[in-house]
Chains A and B, each alone.
Chain A
Amino acid sequence: MSLYILSKERLPQFVKALQGKFRVVGPVETETGYAFDDITDPAQLQMDYTTTILPPKKYFLPQREVLFSYHNEKENGGPQRLEMRPVYQDVQPTVIFGVHTCDMSGIMLYDKVFSEGFRDEHYMERREQIYIIGIECLHPCDEASFCKDMGTLTAPPIYDLHMTDAGDHYFVDTGTEKGERLLLDNAYVKMAEKEDIQRLGQVLSSKWPRFRMRLKMSRDQTPSLLTLGYQAKLWQQLGERCLACASCTNVCPTCFCFDVRDENDITMQGGERVRVWDSCQLYEFALVAGEHNFRESKASRVRHRLMRKGKYIKQVHGLSGCTGCGRCERACLVNITIPGTLNALHEEMQLEPGI
């Protein structure tokens, strides 16, 4: 759409102007790194940050979300009946600052998963009120990332605004009309001119050599690699190491599985139905009636996660199931990683280097 220039000094004013009207969240510094959190003071916002433990998915699918409340109603002497009221949690105009391009890819997948086929009203109600303001990565966040392999180093078309750091100012690209309105109504910006656009081109093209490739194959090859390697020995080795702790899936921007539970209140006459994040790495995930578990071994669960990330999600939703954000690698205490696993599989299958 259009490109604007926002001077860095004016960013706090932009945030302040939004605060009256929106819940404003973005990366803030923590004791050990960064996390997405509510911005109460514009000075907290850290647009130049490495990565976060949880991706911004927590604003799209909260860790614990009430779906409806229920209550036993008894009309004077009449029969008891269960009253149910839908609940739409965390639905409010929200602006998320500082979303990296890999995480935008995760959100793009979420949007597909929760809107196509079965339309998830709870997700959609919230989603419609969220503005995404991206930030371009000019340096790798750390050693664990492999976004260049996964093709997520370029912003996918889901942002309302997308910012690129150019020293004393940001380039702000508008991705949607509502994003453009948000910018023009709340920030002092100027239209980019011809030479600005050239500078942006330089900034963007000079970043690529800083990012390395980690996969021994191209991402297009991973579905066939995983098909070939379904029976590989590797899965047993990984299964032995795995702690079944689900850290890898909880921190993953493309994991969306949830469990649904009823929580009664103290009177036991009512309560709430909630959904909470779940994980295919946990024993109970594939436990069904009759105590049968169709992914009993940890090896089969580790394999399933890799299959999801490198093959199934692509097949079902047409988008990559892994963004290369590296979060699972940072979180895994026994060093089970996506690039390490795919490369080892590639080796075990004795394939020619794919790239």
Chain B
Amino acid sequence: MATKPKIAFFDFTSCEGCQLTVIDLLQTHLGLLDLVEIVQFREAMSERGEDYQIAFIEGSCTRKSDEARLRRIREQAAVVVALGACAHLGGVNALKNYWPIENVQTYVYGKNGKDAYESYPARPISAVIKVDAVIPGCPIDRYEFLRIVQLLLQGRRLRLPDYPLCVECKLKENACLNTLGKPCLGPITRAGCDAICPTYGDGCEGCRGWAPEANFAYMREILRGHGLSDADIDARFTMFNHFQFQHMGEPAPVTTSLGPDKTAPLPTSAFAAPKED
């Protein structure tokens, strides 16, 4: 057997759910290991090979020191794949970009957080290094992962569905949530997850990023029809895609400011650090 391409997995700021999805996929598709050799995968093995051709990177870049590590991976790998919404879009991590970074650090890590933990506005990895392919989603779709790996191995053109989620949703004959009074971002979101959220009765939140022809103006009209305020709609639009809107330039199809706001109250969260006096 010819030598198998060596692949490696890396994580930055993320929940590691995408890597977990890959591990879960291996339970049913062990044959993947006949195609590739995994040399580094912190979540699944202790070996750490530095000789790899394809790097799968999960997580967004959220601190200065991430940059050097990303560049090292880029130098080694022939192909870099952004794995999941955080790496692809910045994802939910970029929600912190609404506030000045010092406020976020103090809020999360306490009074001395600024000095104890490094942080800066979250970005997709493509903001730092060249990315050759993306596997969108929060978390990724395991079958799409498999498909992309196969295409990479064949040297074929990588392509994601370039149409909205509604296509997959209709093929499954789901009743449309937007007509049942439940907001769903399917019409502006890139398909590929087989419309998993609407299929189980939850509106799409756009974790796969926008479809290339996303019609934000009329999506807003549809959401207004549910009685949502423009601020609520902005919050939905930016949940996974805050960084995208920040970098769309004017006029971004949101009504509120996307930049750091010194006066905005930070959200209350059960996970935030306990109040210090």
**Chain-B contact segment, one of A88-96, A133-141, A185-193, A238-246:** A238-246
Tell me, yes or no, whether B249 is within 8 Å of chain A by CB: no
**Chain A residues whose CB sits within 8 angstroms of the CB of B29 once the complex forms:** 266
Find out whether the CB atom of B188 lies under 8 angstroms from the CB atom of A246: no
Task: Looking at the assembled complex, report how far the CB atom of B36 sits from the nearest CB atom of chain A, in whole angstroms.
Answer: 11
Contact with B along A245-270 (1 / 0, CB 8 A): 11100110000000000001011100
Our pick among A242, A283, A330 for the contact of B215 (Cβ within 8 Å) is: A242
Chain B residue nearest to A31 (CB atoms) is B175
Tell me, yes or no, whether A213 is within 8 Å of chain B by CB: no
Tell me, yes or no, whether A24 is within 8 Å of chain B by CB: no
Find out whether the CB atom of B179 lies under 8 angstroms from the CB atom of A244: no
**Chain A residues whose CB sits within 8 angstroms of the CB of B212 once the complex forms:** 283
Find out whether the CB atom of A33 lies under 8 angstroms from the CB atom of B222: no
The CA of A331 and the CA of B213, in the complex, are separated in Å by: 19
The CA of A56 and the CA of B84, in the complex, are separated in Å by: 37
Task: Looking at the assembled complex, report how far the CB atom of B197 sits from the nearest CB atom of chain A, in whole angstroms.
Answer: 16
Task: Looking at the assembled complex, report how far the CB atom of A40 sits from the nearest CB atom of chain B, in whole angstroms.
Answer: 18
**Chain A residues whose CB sits within 8 angstroms of the CB of B251 once the complex forms:** none
Find out whether the CB atom of B173 lies under 8 angstroms from the CB atom of A243: no
Contact with B along A172-199 (1 / 0, CB 8 A): 0000000000000000000000000000
Tell me, yes or no, whether B92 is within 8 Å of chain A by CB: no
**Chain-A contact segment, one of B75-83, B93-101, B159-167:** B159-167
Number of A residues near B (Cβ < 8 Å) is 35
Main secondary structure of the interface of A (DSSP, over half): loop
Find out whether the CB atom of B163 lies under 8 angstroms from the CB atom of A284: yes
Tell me, yes or no, whether A298 is within 8 Å of chain B by CB: yes
Find out whether the CB atom of A268 lies under 8 angstroms from the CB atom of B35: yes
**Chain B residues whose CB sits within 8 angstroms of the CB of A30 once the complex forms:** 175
Our pick among B170, B187, B213, B221 for the contact of A283 (Cβ within 8 Å) is: B213
Chain B residue nearest to A52 (CB atoms) is B173
Tell me, yes or no, whether B276 is within 8 Å of chain A by CB: no
Find out whether the CB atom of B153 lies under 8 angstroms from the CB atom of A54: no
**Chain A residues whose CB sits within 8 angstroms of the CB of B35 once the complex forms:** 266, 268
**Chain A residues whose CB sits within 8 angstroms of the CB of B32 once the complex forms:** 266
Tell me, yes or no, whether B131 is within 8 Å of chain A by CB: no
Find out whether the CB atom of A250 lies under 8 angstroms from the CB atom of B175: no
The CA of A284 and the CA of B154, in the complex, are separated in Å by: 22
Tell me, yes or no, whether A282 is within 8 Å of chain B by CB: yes
**Chain B residues whose CB sits within 8 angstroms of the CB of A267 once the complex forms:** 31, 34
Find out whether the CB atom of A53 lies under 8 angstroms from the CB atom of B187: no
Q: Which of B162, B163, B179, B213: most chain A CB closer than 10 A?
A: B163
Q: Assuming A247-B170, A283-B163, A333-B187, is B178 touching A268 (CB within 8 A)?
A: no
Find out whether the CB atom of A266 lies under 8 angstroms from the CB atom of B173: no
Find out whether the CB atom of B150 lies under 8 angstroms from the CB atom of A246: no
Q: Assuming A244-B213, A298-B213, is B163 touching A282 (CB within 8 A)?
A: yes
Q: Assuming A30-B175, A266-B31, A268-B35, is B215 touching A244 (CB within 8 A)?
A: yes
The CA of A334 and the CA of B153, in the complex, are separated in Å by: 42
**Chain B residues whose CB sits within 8 angstroms of the CB of A53 once the complex forms:** 170, 173-175
Question: Which residues B180-232 have CB closer than 8 A to chain A?
Answer: 180, 186-188, 211-213, 215, 218-219, 221-222
The CA of A276 and the CA of B191, in the complex, are separated in Å by: 15
Q: Which of B35, B171, B174, B211: most chain A CB closer than 10 A?
A: B171
Tell me, yes or no, whether B176 is within 8 Å of chain A by CB: yes
Chain B residue nearest to A30 (CB atoms) is B175
Task: Looking at the assembled complex, report how far the CB atom of B224 sits from the nearest CB atom of chain A, in whole angstroms.
Answer: 12
Find out whether the CB atom of A244 lies under 8 angstroms from the CB atom of B218: no
Our pick among B163, B175, B215 for the contact of A32 (Cβ within 8 Å) is: B175
**Chain A residues whose CB sits within 8 angstroms of the CB of B219 once the complex forms:** 243
Q: Would you mind naming 14 contact pairs between A and B with Cβ atoms under 8 Å apart?
A: A33-B175, A53-B173, A243-B188, A245-B163, A245-B186, A247-B170, A247-B176, A250-B167, A267-B34, A279-B167, A283-B213, A284-B163, A298-B213, A331-B170
Chain B residues in contact with chain A, CB under 8 A?
29, 31-32, 34-35, 146, 150, 153-154, 162-164, 166-167, 170-171, 173-176, 178-180, 186-188, 211-213, 215, 218-219, 221-222
9 nearest interchain CB pairs? A245-B166, A266-B31, A32-B175, A250-B170, A243-B187, A63-B171, A282-B163, A245-B164, A244-B213
Q: List 7 additional contacts besides A52-B173, A243-B166, A283-B162; criterion CB under 8 Å.
A: A35-B173, A243-B188, A243-B218, A243-B219, A244-B213, A333-B179, A334-B222
